[in-house]
Chain A
């Protein structure tokens, strides 16, 4: 009886593992293919049957990208935009969230609902109105156009995220600062911000990723090559006559690296309980 049961259990375990392996393969293969293709020559990429491992390992695709100032500019643009938007988003969201979390004011509830409701609008539906606005402001094909539009998309969620985090911090801390002789401003910068790092990191990572991966608005609101970002740059490698697959893959790898690094660095903040020892 027991034996038969364990045999059945084993069968279920095996089936589960096979299913999980299939799932893993489906998720991981594209990443593997990106990596392996980036180390092939363009001719090897078109070889039939395709090679699973690069037959002739080469860094020519990487050299082509890192040696080309135009393509490096794509990286600079992406870093600059994502970095600026992240800093601005965190600053503005922090102030807004502190207001939502610590003060009562007229219309607080409806304002909160409004912020949440903006999340339900698909960005693509706003593309045309934004385009018109950007052109009439005379900021078409500039960083400002992209920074402003990105802020519109990052801020609502960032504010919700930060408000949720600040709500977990005891109000006693703000009151202790008030009694110790500080203002709300002192409480925010000297106490709340230093212990909000996990919330700030989560918001930053979210914002950075959103900007780094953004394609639609970057494509529409800029025109000149010097204003393009990495996702557009990858697409630009698909020329009319030539497909630089290995370069596209190398650029994708280089484009993914910062995200990987951010995750690794930020990880410990997600785990650490920053307020330990404050109360009780």
Chain B
């Protein structure tokens, strides 16, 4: 067990493409850190650099206090779970798990004892003599976990280990991996593009975009205080609604509506005053928008909106809306999926909401939950 420290890590390819730019990250001993970001953000590259499968162009990397930049993967005391699992197809489950011990020259009795222990933890005992081809996706995933656990490494590196599983199994394995990590207490760096995995599994989450670290924080703080519009849009599902508006006194003006801001908003963000008379980006999460005809929405101010479509999920309604404001692109390539082409806002209503597709409604919003960003830099105000 050890801490993993990345200092000014850079990865530049031959064509001068910066896959990773000045990455500074400190993962504490026993911590579960999630690396998250849209595809191509460099999160897998970062993980592969920690594993030693990818050269580090510049910077320093220490695992358990030892500088490992020039070490091959086998000397770094790490174990990795691959997205594809990469099980050895010609070996049985037990041989797969014991392979690293065999390479290390551990005696047979010790190997067997360790494999049995791990198989018990992962409920693989009855499958030890099977070949990977005869296992289900979830079982293969557990074998891959076992192969990593057998080495008792200083750190686990996991590269989207759940992305090949179906949705139901993914939820189950999410919980299993989290509890296993807590039980073993091994420092874990986990790469995913799925922000639900990021929010539910990690002690802390590092958000990457274009090879640049945006924010590292606990899931709760990332959700509540994103440092910029990208993190605001990326964390949370459906994404935060981001719009451009003009600050006029204590009001946000956009098209046909105005949102009054309370004094508290300015007390919490002293910088907001300087935007008076200027454009500002404001954000509000779908769960902070309410159906004004329901009890929950009565206490808030309202703005006009037109419903374009509704997804009834049973426990809630995801309502796609159009409001008279210019939507701001957070830079998250997946956000378009949340908003679609015909709407510019999305809200989560309670299931007893009776709004209809195509109808004009009054949309209630909790103005204490507004987020503000600079329209140029997209940094939080």
Contact = CB atoms under 8 A, between A and B. Distances in A.
Interface in A96-116: none
Interface in B80-100: 80, 82-90, 99-100
A181 B132 contact: no
Task: Bin the interface of chain A by size.
Answer: 20 to 34
Contact of B104 (A172, A179, A181, A191): A181
Task: Bin the interface of chain B by size.
Answer: 20 to 34
A179 B72 CA distance: 9
A182 B89 contact: no
A238 interface: no
Given A186-B103, A277-B134, A280-B164, A176 B86 contact: yes
Contacts, number: 85
Contacts of A68: none
A178 B52 contact: yes
A137 B254 CA distance: 91
B89 A277 contact: yes
A191 B88 contact: yes
A235 interface: no
B84 A280 contact: yes
Contacts of A275: 89
Contact of B73 (A170, A178, A195, A274): A178
Interface string B299-323: 0000000000000000000000000
A171 to B, nearest CB: 9
A193 B83 CA distance: 23
Interface in B32-47: none
B74 A180 contact: yes
Max chain A CB contacts within 10 Å: which of B74, B88, B103, B140? B88
A177 B53 CA distance: 11
B44 to A, nearest CB: 12
A66 interface: no
A178 to B, nearest CB: 4
A179 B89 contact: no
A175 B103 contact: no
A172 B144 CA distance: 12
B131 interface: yes
Contacts of A279: 82, 84-87
Given A180-B147, A181-B100, A170 B74 contact: no
B132 A176 contact: no
Contacts of B140: 277
Contacts of B51: 175, 179
Nearest to A186: B103
Contact of B80 (A179, A186, A194): A179
Contact of B82 (A176, A182, A194): A176
A108 to B, nearest CB: 14
Interface string A269-280: 000001111111
Nearest to B132: A277
B252 interface: no
Contact of A276 (B72, B74, B104, B133): B133
A75 B154 CA distance: 60
A173 interface: yes
B80 A176 contact: yes
A184 to B, nearest CB: 10
Given A277-B131, A278-B89, A178 B53 contact: yes
Interface in B333-354: none
Nearest to A275: B89
Interface string B95-121: 000011001100000000000000000
5 contacts: A170-B86, A175-B53, A178-B53, A179-B73, A274-B89
Interface of A: 170, 172-173, 175-183, 186, 190-191, 194-195, 274-280
Given A179-B79, A182-B74, A195-B89, 15 more contacts: A170-B86, A175-B53, A175-B82, A175-B86, A176-B80, A178-B53, A181-B100, A181-B151, A274-B90, A277-B89, A277-B140, A278-B87, A278-B89, A278-B132, A279-B82
